[in-house]
Amino acid sequence: MQSQACDVCHRRKSRCDKRHPCGYCQKAGVECKYTDRSREPTFRRDHVEAIERRLRQAEAKNKALSDELAKAKRNENSILSSREVSGVRSTPSSRDENTQSSTPVQANGTGHTIINEVSFLASTAAGERHYLGSTSGVLFANLVRASVDISNGQHSSRAENEHSQQLSTLAKSSVSTTYSQSLPPHELASKLVSSYLAHDHLCYPFLPPAELLSMTDAIYGDPSFYSNNAYEAFVFDLVLAIATANVYKFDWQMLPSAETHHSRAMSRITEVFQCGGIKSLRVILLLCQYRTGSSMQDTSASMWHLVGIAVRICYELGLHRESTYTSKTQRDEHERQLAERREQEIKRRSFWCVFAMDRIVGITLGRPLAIHLDDIEVALPSPQSDQIFATQFQEQPSAHQASRTSIFVHITQYRHLCGRIMTHLHGLKRPEHTEERVSTLRDTLVAELDEWRANTNNLVLPDNDNGPDFPPDRTSFRSREWYEVLYSNARLLLFRPCPMLADISKDSKSLQNIFSSSKQAITIYAYLHKSRRINYSWITLHAVFMAGLSYIYAVSRHFRERRRGPSSGACLLSDPTTIEIVNDTRACSNVLVAVSERWNALRHCHEVFDRLSDAVLADAIKLQCAPNLVQQYATSILPPDAENRRLQEINYQPFMSSASASLHPNSSATVPMNDACYTSTSPLAVDSAFRSCYDDLQNLYDQSFIDDPVMQLSHDWLGYLDDFSGNYQWSNDT
């Protein structure tokens, strides 16, 4: 007899008879294991295997790098010996000539040396910098220079190091051709690149399409191009990895794992980061883009750190200032001006891609934003900028299809608005943040969100996803439903419990908005999953789980207040029916199962949701068993804007009803109606289920900084239960 429950029963938080095997494991036919949890922490087997696998990969990489280093040293010694034999040395006379030639410049450029020294100190005091702000000292140095009328002669001293250049050439030539031989066929690679441009590039257009296409042709046209160009090889491999991860929604077994392309790219990461500048920024953006849909254990935390590095590179390059994008070429140099405009437009889009990723990661993880609106003054890309790339990328927008830049700008405007919602409603509460002031600000944000939703019609999106105008790549960014689910998620961000409005959930209007928005989000996610246009990412998984948890929160709170009486507190406009709860929770669970299968660490999130949904369904059935409570509220208690919300929900009805009917055609036969009714002292089943799931919700993401939306809602939920503690009887009017 064991002293603790087995691992399976401990994870399910169910009673264990402590035998070996226990009754549940024997009945379920699963392995029954006991771990002494009192002495040392437990580790999952898949987690240990993943660490062992990564350790073996690291050892193999270290061995390969050691071999390459030894080969490079041998080549270096041979070059040095050959140079000594041929007499290639710097003689004293040559050094004297260099000294004498530099004397006039030093004599005539003393004033300019002061400027160079100030610029050097300002740009290297805290590491390499390229953007010099007003506090760097350069502005003051320029004023001093102008006041004393220093000569404008420039002193340009470029230190040439032939030895380092030769070593760099040797390192490039010593790269093994094994990786280039493992590339996919040219036809398959072209399809993956086209898939990337048709889907992922719409949301993050920081790579020039023509550059990517020509890069693909060069890699397969010249066998040495892949080995000699580390940056191009890295970009190509990451694009293949991103595209492979996304085409899994069509056929999981069609292609090799995206990890293969990712590992091939990461073998050149050190060499690639030496490029610096905008190339390093693109590399980080590609890594973030890949980790959005990858199944890596530390995806969210590592992406947060990568985005932080990308933000600082943007500041370093001055991409947060509009003056960086001012053209400096002459008007008569048309070709040169066009090339510069193209490069500046790519920099502008790169900055806004970093901005969007900063908002996504910050909101999802509940962490402070890295880019503050007061620090930037960059305009969004103009839809007319598509003409710059028209001759490079043969995809002209038609009258029945939105331009690529218009889609990117519309999505970025949404990220901008969500960042403001998080800052104003989910930040730290200060004395000047009165409830009245914050409520007014929230109403303003709601109006801006409604305006953004109305502007979606300007994108000319297809109304019928099965029609001839719908693109065959199944990208969600050209789907009207995807923008509707963004709208619902933003409304959840607006009305769910937040630090600025502690009593927001006691308001019937807020509770109704939480319920309707979460219901709409669940239904649309289920529809996108059915039509195979959902984005399989941990961000989508978080959004679906948040919508489902908000749905359970709103319904359970309504049932709890109904238990106290019709006029006790915040309630929904009507009692959710049992069939409605079954359809909504089952649809959410199906999507959670489909998306979470790619993340072992988050795979159990649908189990937590199922336990909560089963409990709230039991409460709904018991509510129906109370004949004196099966009545809805009168329309006289509707808030002033209830009619407007009702009109909004009418637009969803054909879509929602068709989706629910297709998902659960016979759901009415699955609802047990013979459950016991409430007694005078029985608690809500969902309350007990939530308390048992609370630890699982806390450990859902394994984050050291626990302030994500799931935790905020869970804390509010638990605090409400503590305030609500006590046994309440169902009200009787008889």
Mean pLDDT along residues 587-610 = 79
Sign of CA dihedral 70, 75, 76, 82: positive
Predicted local distance difference test score (pLDDT) of residue 116: 53
**Domain extents in the chain:** 1-44, 180-329+336-389, 404-634+655-723
Predicted local distance difference test score (pLDDT) of residue 207: 92
- Region label for 574, one of left (φ > 0), alpha (ψ between -120 and 50) or beta (otherwise): beta
Distance CA(539)–CA(587), nearest Å, equals: 18
The pLDDT-based confidence of 686 (bands split at 50, 70, 90) is low
1-44: which CATH number, 3.40.50.1470, 3.40.50.620, 3.30.300.30, 4.10.240.10?
4.10.240.10
**CB hemisphere CA count around 363 (13 angstroms):** 28
Question: 623 and 558 in contact (C-beta within 8 Å)?
Answer: no
- Residue 536 neighbours by CB under 8 Å, 6+ apart: 245, 246, 248, 249, 293, 594, 595, 598
Query: Angle at CA 415, nearest 5°, toward 414 and 421?
Result: 90
- Region label for 82, one of left (φ > 0), alpha (ψ between -120 and 50) or beta (otherwise): alpha
The pLDDT-based confidence of 159 (bands split at 50, 70, 90) is very low
Predicted local distance difference test score (pLDDT) of residue 437: 86
- Residue 175 neighbours by CB under 8 Å, 6+ apart: 68, 227, 228, 230, 268
Indicate if the pLDDT at residue 412 is higher than 80: yes
The residues facing 204 across adjacent strands are none
Question: 599 and 539 in contact (C-beta within 8 Å)?
Answer: no
The pLDDT-based confidence of 303 (bands split at 50, 70, 90) is confident
Question: 157 and 112 in contact (C-beta within 8 Å)?
Answer: no
Tokens (6 digits) for 399:
């009258």
pTM over 0.85? The answer is no
Predicted local distance difference test score (pLDDT) of residue 55: 84
Phi, psi of 125, deg, nearest 5 = -65, -35
DSSP string of 554-568, one letter each residue: HHHHHHHHHHH-TTS
Question: 459 and 406 in contact (C-beta within 8 Å)?
Answer: yes
Mean pLDDT along residues 468-482 = 71
DSSP-derived 3-state class of residue 45 = helix
Predicted local distance difference test score (pLDDT) of residue 721: 58
The predicted-structure confidence for 687-704, as pLDDT tens digits, reads as follows 666 566 555 655 555 444
The pLDDT-based confidence of 356 (bands split at 50, 70, 90) is very high
Indicate if the pLDDT at residue 115 is higher than 60: no
Distance CA(530)–CA(659), nearest Å, equals: 9
Predicted local distance difference test score (pLDDT) of residue 475: 82
Predicted local distance difference test score (pLDDT) of residue 145: 41
The predicted-structure confidence for 94-110, as pLDDT tens digits, reads as follows 444 444 444 444 444 44
Choice among 50-64, 483-497, 528-542, 715-729 with the minimum mean pLDDT = 715-729
DSSP-derived 3-state class of residue 706 = coil
- Residue 465 neighbours by CB under 8 Å, 6+ apart: 479, 481, 531, 533
Indicate if the pLDDT at residue 329 is higher than 60: no
Between 601 and 148, name the one with better pLDDT. 601
Distance CA(219)–CA(685), nearest Å, equals: 61
Indicate if the pLDDT at residue 270 is higher than 70: yes
Between 641 and 597, name the one with better pLDDT. 597
Indicate if the pLDDT at residue 36 is higher than 90: no
Q: Cα 101 to chain center, whole Å?
A: 56
Predicted local distance difference test score (pLDDT) of residue 201: 92
The pLDDT-based confidence of 250 (bands split at 50, 70, 90) is low
Indicate if the pLDDT at residue 561 is higher than 70: yes
- The chain-wide mean pLDDT, for the chain, equals 72
Tokens (6 digits) for 264:
């091939």
The residues facing 125 across adjacent strands are 127
Indicate if the pLDDT at residue 710 is higher than 70: no
Burial class (CB in 10 A: 0-12, 13-18, 19+), 550: buried
Distance CA(441)–CA(22), nearest Å, equals: 57
The residues facing 127 across adjacent strands are 125
Predicted local distance difference test score (pLDDT) of residue 659: 41
Mean pLDDT along residues 25-40 = 80
Question: 476 and 536 in contact (C-beta within 8 Å)?
Answer: no
Indicate if the pLDDT at residue 195 is higher than 70: yes
Indicate if the pLDDT at residue 658 is higher than 50: no
The predicted-structure confidence for 549-559, as pLDDT tens digits, reads as follows 899 888 988 88
Predicted local distance difference test score (pLDDT) of residue 347: 92
Predicted local distance difference test score (pLDDT) of residue 426: 85
